[in-house]
């Protein structure tokens, strides 16, 4: 089951004032109040990280594709591919070169 984060929208107890986590079914309705003090809460957008495993050959091929895009000046394509493979700094540089403000 996914873990969701919530925080009190106003005054709350020590549990909900900063934020708290709760496991919920993906189909469950979001909480509207703290389970401990019943203060109003809202669901937060949480950061997450996904890991994609690649074989050494796939890593080399991905690197070649990114380099080809960069050499052709296709910065947004290079950035998107770098971003998908976890090369955050390289993706950020290419997004900037493509004209995106970061």
pLDDT in tens, the chain (102 residues): 688 999 999 899 999 999 999 999 888 999 999 999 999 999 998 777 777 677 888 889 999 999 999 999 999 999 999 998 888 899 999 999 999 886
Which among 96, 53, 93, 97 is positioned nearest to 62, based on CA atoms? 53
Specify the pLDDT at position 1: 65
Quick one: how far is CA 41 from the chain centroid? 22
Distance CA 16, CA 71 (A): 50
């Amino acid at each position: 089951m996914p873990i969701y984060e919530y925080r009190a929208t106003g005054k709350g107890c020590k549990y909900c004032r900063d934020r708290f986590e709760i496991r919920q079914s993906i189909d469950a309705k979001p909480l509207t109040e703290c389970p401990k003090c019943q203060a109003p809460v809202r669901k937060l957008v949480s950061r997450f990280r996904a890991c994609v495993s690649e074989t050494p050959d796939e890593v080399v091929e991905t690197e070649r594709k990114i380099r080809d895009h960069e050499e052709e000046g296709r910065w947004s394509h290079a950035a998107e591919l770098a971003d998908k493979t976890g090369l955050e700094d390289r993706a950020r540089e290419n997004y900037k070169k493509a004209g995106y403000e970061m």
